[in-house]
Amino acid sequence: MHKDLVKLKNISEIIFHAHVDLLLSHYDTMDWGAWETKVKYCVPEEKQEHLKKYFFPADISSIQTAMRECIILFKNDAEEICNEKGTNYPESISQKIISYFNKNVAD
Protein backbone atom coordinates (compact mmCIF):
# COMPACT_ATOMS: atom_id res chain seq x y z
CA MET A 1 0.00 0.00 0.00
CA HIS A 2 2.71 2.50 0.91
CA LYS A 3 3.88 3.04 -2.67
CA ASP A 4 0.54 2.62 -4.42
CA LEU A 5 -0.53 6.12 -5.45
CA VAL A 6 -4.10 5.13 -6.31
CA LYS A 7 -4.68 3.33 -2.99
CA LEU A 8 -3.22 6.22 -1.00
CA LYS A 9 -5.37 8.73 -2.88
CA ASN A 10 -8.46 6.59 -2.26
CA ILE A 11 -7.65 6.30 1.46
CA SER A 12 -7.14 10.06 1.66
CA GLU A 13 -10.56 10.64 0.09
CA ILE A 14 -12.24 8.25 2.54
CA ILE A 15 -10.57 9.96 5.51
CA PHE A 16 -11.41 13.39 4.07
CA HIS A 17 -15.13 12.58 3.81
CA ALA A 18 -15.13 11.02 7.29
CA HIS A 19 -13.52 14.25 8.57
CA VAL A 20 -16.19 16.31 6.76
CA ASP A 21 -18.92 14.13 8.30
CA LEU A 22 -17.36 14.53 11.75
CA LEU A 23 -17.27 18.31 11.47
CA LEU A 24 -20.78 18.55 10.03
CA SER A 25 -22.12 16.33 12.81
CA HIS A 26 -21.08 19.07 15.20
CA TYR A 27 -21.36 22.33 13.24
CA ASP A 28 -24.12 21.83 10.67
CA THR A 29 -26.95 24.28 11.24
CA MET A 30 -28.51 24.10 7.78
CA ASP A 31 -31.37 21.87 6.70
CA TRP A 32 -30.57 22.28 3.01
CA GLY A 33 -27.55 22.12 0.73
CA ALA A 34 -24.79 19.75 -0.23
CA TRP A 35 -21.89 18.99 2.09
CA GLU A 36 -19.73 21.54 0.28
CA THR A 37 -22.21 24.33 1.03
CA LYS A 38 -22.59 23.22 4.63
CA VAL A 39 -18.82 23.20 5.13
CA LYS A 40 -18.58 26.70 3.67
CA TYR A 41 -21.34 28.21 5.81
CA CYS A 42 -21.36 26.13 9.00
CA VAL A 43 -17.85 24.90 9.74
CA PRO A 44 -15.53 27.47 11.37
CA GLU A 45 -12.68 28.82 9.20
CA GLU A 46 -10.06 27.11 11.36
CA LYS A 47 -11.69 23.72 10.78
CA GLN A 48 -12.05 24.45 7.05
CA GLU A 49 -8.28 24.92 7.02
CA HIS A 50 -7.95 21.40 8.42
CA LEU A 51 -9.95 20.08 5.47
CA LYS A 52 -7.81 21.98 2.97
CA LYS A 53 -4.81 19.90 4.07
CA TYR A 54 -6.30 16.97 2.14
CA PHE A 55 -5.71 18.79 -1.16
CA PHE A 56 -2.16 17.96 -2.12
CA PRO A 57 -0.13 17.06 -5.23
CA ALA A 58 -0.57 13.53 -6.54
CA ASP A 59 2.85 12.15 -5.75
CA ILE A 60 3.71 9.55 -3.13
CA SER A 61 5.84 11.81 -0.94
CA SER A 62 3.27 14.63 -0.84
CA ILE A 63 0.45 12.23 -0.06
CA GLN A 64 2.39 10.50 2.72
CA THR A 65 3.38 13.80 4.30
CA ALA A 66 -0.09 15.30 4.03
CA MET A 67 -1.86 12.21 5.34
CA ARG A 68 0.37 12.09 8.41
CA GLU A 69 -0.70 15.67 9.16
CA CYS A 70 -4.36 15.10 8.26
CA ILE A 71 -4.78 12.06 10.45
CA ILE A 72 -3.56 14.07 13.46
CA LEU A 73 -5.91 16.97 12.61
CA PHE A 74 -8.80 14.50 12.32
CA LYS A 75 -7.91 13.04 15.73
CA ASN A 76 -7.66 16.50 17.31
CA ASP A 77 -11.00 17.60 15.85
CA ALA A 78 -12.70 14.38 16.98
CA GLU A 79 -11.24 14.74 20.46
CA GLU A 80 -12.36 18.38 20.69
CA ILE A 81 -15.89 17.56 19.55
CA CYS A 82 -16.14 14.64 21.98
CA ASN A 83 -15.00 16.89 24.82
CA GLU A 84 -17.56 19.55 23.88
CA LYS A 85 -20.31 16.91 23.83
CA GLY A 86 -19.17 15.39 27.12
CA THR A 87 -18.23 12.09 25.46
CA ASN A 88 -15.12 10.13 26.26
CA TYR A 89 -12.68 10.14 23.37
CA PRO A 90 -11.14 6.70 22.61
CA GLU A 91 -7.49 7.81 22.72
CA SER A 92 -6.12 4.25 22.63
CA ILE A 93 -8.01 3.46 19.43
CA SER A 94 -6.85 6.60 17.64
CA GLN A 95 -3.25 5.92 18.65
CA LYS A 96 -3.48 2.39 17.23
CA ILE A 97 -4.90 3.73 13.96
CA ILE A 98 -2.22 6.42 13.69
CA SER A 99 0.52 3.91 14.51
CA TYR A 100 -0.81 1.43 11.94
CA PHE A 101 -1.07 4.16 9.33
CA ASN A 102 2.46 5.42 9.95
CA LYS A 103 3.86 1.87 9.89
CA ASN A 104 2.13 0.97 6.63
CA VAL A 105 2.71 4.26 4.86
CA ALA A 106 6.40 4.48 5.57
CA ASP A 107 8.65 6.38 3.20
Gap between the terminal Cα atoms of the chain: 11
For residue 90, CA distances in Å to 49, 77, 96 come to 24, 13, 10
Decide if pLDDT at 107 tops 60.
no
CA 102, CA 17: separation in Å to the nearest integer?
20
**What average pLDDT does this structure show over 61-79?**
91
The secondary structure of 31-71 as a DSSP string is SSS-HHHHHHHHS-HHHHHHHHTT---SSHHHHHHHHHHHH
How do the domains of the chain map onto residue ranges? Answer: 5-104
What global pTM score does this model have?
0.83
**What average pLDDT does this structure show over 81-103?**
89
For residue range 11-62, what is the model confidence (pLDDT) as tens digits? Answer: 899 999 999 999 999 999 999 999 999 999 999 999 999 999 999 888 888 8
